[in-house]
Amino acid sequence: MHDSRLRSRKFWLSLMGALMGVSAPLLSGEVSPEKGLEMAIAILVSYVLGQGYVDAQKAKMAAAPEVAEAPEEAPVVDDS
């Protein structure tokens, strides 16, 4: 499970985004350290929430019972 997350593009992009948010104040000086930390936290929180949603959908699909091929039709009653 953890191995698949290490291969995930979402994981690596989130990690790089968080690192850029933290390193931007150090590299450019145009972004305040507080703003850089806010950006990094926002990126990490969005990754955690997004991955949680994806995992919940996978668990929901795995727990759902198999859908029948075709539902049976109710018999037609003639009241004449």
Report pLDDT digits (tens) over 13-69: 888 888 888 888 888 878 888 888 888 888 888 888 888 898 888 888 888 766 545
Residue 74 has a pLDDT of 64
pLDDT of residue 75: 65
Q: Is residue 77 a part of any domain in this protein?
A: no
Kindly state whether residue 42 falls inside one of the protein's structural domains.
yes
Range of the domain at 42: 14-60
Is 49 among the domain residues? yes
- pLDDT attached to residue 25: 81
Counting the structural domains of the chain, the total is 1
54 part of a folded domain:
yes
CB 36 within 8 A of CB 18: no
CA 63 – CA 40 distance, rounded (Å): 35
Quick check: is 33 in a domain?
yes
Integer Cα distance of 23 and 25 in angstroms: 6
67 in a structural domain: no
